[in-house]
Amino acid sequence: MASGTIRYWAAAKEAAGTGEEQVEGNTLADVLESVLARRSGDDRLARVLARSSFLIDDRPVGTRAHSGVELTDGCVVEVLPPFAGG
């Protein structure tokens, strides 16, 4: 199981209640499930994650299934909700 850091930006940071936290998981789906489980009963982060883009070590996840995005030790997952403006 890989361990790393998840960083939240903008609305994701507000919904998570923190700018970053340590995570463990084999895939992006594992990590997202884990951070949501930590906040059971509060669906604000789930709503933001559903419309967010993700970077893994500065590489875009794009449209790949989160269950197929494997993580490595020391990885950094960036959560990028839609931003307004340009």
Q: 49: alpha, beta or left, given left = phi > 0 and alpha = psi -120 to 50? A: alpha
Checking if the pLDDT of 75 tops 80, the result is yes
> Using CA atoms in the order 77, 29, 44, 19, what is the torsion angle rounded to 10 degrees?
-20
Res 14: pLDDT: 96
pTM: 0.93
Closest CA to 80 of 67, 65, 62, 64: 62
Across the range 36-48, mean pLDDT stands at 94
Across the range 26-52, mean pLDDT stands at 96
- Quickly state the pLDDT bin for 85 (edges 50, 70, 90): low
Res 41: pLDDT: 87
Averaged pLDDT score across all residues of the chain? 95
